[in-house]
């Protein structure tokens, strides 16, 4: 089990990125949350196996069809044992 903090930059708000990320996480069996940030980025905390998280990161590089992802920044963090994956309100 690993924990990634993921920040996605670009045109990623107002394009269904959060909802699409939650669907992708559910499909992959990943737990955590996704949230819009005031600076225009999308922030994700994700927990799963290395393989699951690698697949989520690949998805984040393009996101939903209307997104224009410029950069994906990933940091490893401590496990928080999320029980599911949620879409959070904007920060």
Q: Are the C-beta atoms of 48 and 29 separated by less than 8 Å?
A: yes
5 flagged as catalytic = no
Q: One of 18, 37, 71, 86 is an active-site residue; which one?
A: 18
Strands 85-87, 31-36: pairing kind: parallel
84 flagged as catalytic = no
Q: One of 5, 36, 37, 86 is an active-site residue; which one?
A: 36
CA 2 vs CA 11, 46, 56, 72, 89: distances in Å: 27, 8, 13, 18, 24
Q: Which residues are catalytic?
A: 18, 36
């Amino acid at each position: 089990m690993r924990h990634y903090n993921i920040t996605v930059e670009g045109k990623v708000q107002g394009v269904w990125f959060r909802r699409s990320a939650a669907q992708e996480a559910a499909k992959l069996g990943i737990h955590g949350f996704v949230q819009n940030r005031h600076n225009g980025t999308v922030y994700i905390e994700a927990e799963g196996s290395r393989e699951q998280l690698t697949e989520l990161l690949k998805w984040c590089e393009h996101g939903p069809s209307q997104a224009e992802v410029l950069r994906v920044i990933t940091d490893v963090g401590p496990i928080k044992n999320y029980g599911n994956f949620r879409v959070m309100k904007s920060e």
